[in-house]
Amino acid sequence: MTVGQPHLARFAGLPRTFWILWVGTLVNRLGGFVVPFLSLYLTRGRGLSVAHTGLVVSLYGLGLIGAGPLGGVIADRVGRRAAILLGLCAGGLCAIGLGLAESTATIALCTFLFALIGETYRPGVQAAVADLVPPARRPQAYGLIYWAINLGFAVAVIAAGLVVEEGYSLLFFIDGATSLVYAAIVMVAVPETKPANAAVEPGLLSGLTAPLGDRVFALFLLISLSLVAIFWQHQVALPVDITNHGVSAAGYGRLMAVNGVLIVILQPLASTWLSRRDRSTVLAVSCMLVGVGFGMNAVVNTAALYGVAIAIWTLGEIGNFPTASALVADLAPAHMRGRYQGLYSMTGGVAAVAAPAIGGAVLQHAGRVPLWGGCAALGLVAGLAQLARGRGMRARLATPERL
């Protein structure tokens, strides 16, 4: 056995269709230019004011809120492939449309649809992974998907610096093309994974909200929203606060690279280790690490210490998001996997809209200590809540998987 084989062996046994979805995810994220470059494109490429740019970006967040539930319903009622293909094809066309659009109204519409319809593929992929992978290996599988997303994004950000020299529109054309390539891969090589005997309850609205009747899941969503609200402070409040303390914009970019590098290096290794640990304990520790990492910003003021803080909350990120997706898959009946994942995904959209605005306002009017101290407290409370519900969650997960 060669030196590399023990490391590769930990990934053995995952289904072929899972790996096809993994490759498609990586291809798609290699062209993931729209979100990180949307603000620059609108201001520099299309000449929109900062105020108008803010409104357009907010439309993206609003679209995300609806995308998760919509994609979940499609995945459960029509099929996983339908949700994935709709999202990728619509997202690809909307990305290309953004590159061609000139009027503010058209740009706003494409941005909203890019999120609302283009992101419907995510619950389909998450539900398909739950269909394909047994519960014991789901943290590992979702961790590998999360790794592909971050690996692709890391390469995309570097490549974008070269592509943008040819014009911002080319960024969006490539983004759209990679989505359409992923759709082609799914069309050719990914069969429908939805269980044939999965029931479908009547009534669209009742079906959409049915997972909220699961009190264990509803509480989990509330805790998850608290955590994601902390995490989204890295979009506005964190760069503002760091640069206010003498770190240059370039220095901030290097600091944030710590996040990406750690995820790319550690996620594949951590996924196997985390899959053998109690879900609630992993989530509790992850919440506390995120709280501590962001809370440190209340007292640190050097680039090195900011880097330590970022490394700490990155460890929480590595532990939380794949484990949370696996837990959602474990909680969901087979015929509701898409909707459970869609509502979980919606917490990210809610946080994307609300958390940056709240964090920016607190930072401006109350200062850094209340903001980051509040993040630390919220992370601690979320972690304790995960521990408190651990016994009931373990009892729930010990029951046979429901179909």
Is 139 part of a structural domain of the chain? yes
What range does the domain containing 119 cover? Answer: 15-398
With contact defined as beta carbons under 8 Å apart, do 279 and 327 qualify?
A: yes
Is residue 332 assigned to a domain? Answer: yes
Contact by Cβ (8 Å): 306, 298: no
In a domain? residue 6: no
Q: What is the mean pLDDT of each run of 10 residues along the chain (403 residues)?
A: 48 88 94 77 77 79 90 93 96 92 88 92 96 92 92 81 77 92 96 80 62 88 94 85 84 84 89 85 96 96 93 95 92 91 92 85 90 96 91 70 48
pLDDT at residue number 132: 96
pLDDT at 11: 66
187 part of a folded domain? yes
Start-to-end C-alpha separation, the chain: 40
Q: Is residue 210 part of a domain?
A: yes
- The total domain count for the chain is 1
pLDDT at 23: 96
Amino acid at 217: F
Q: Is residue 1 situated within a structural domain?
A: no
Indicate whether 9 belongs to any domain: no
CATH number (domain holding residue 279):
1.20.1250.20
The confidence score (pLDDT) of residue 247 equals 85
Residue 164 lies inside a defined structural domain of this protein: yes
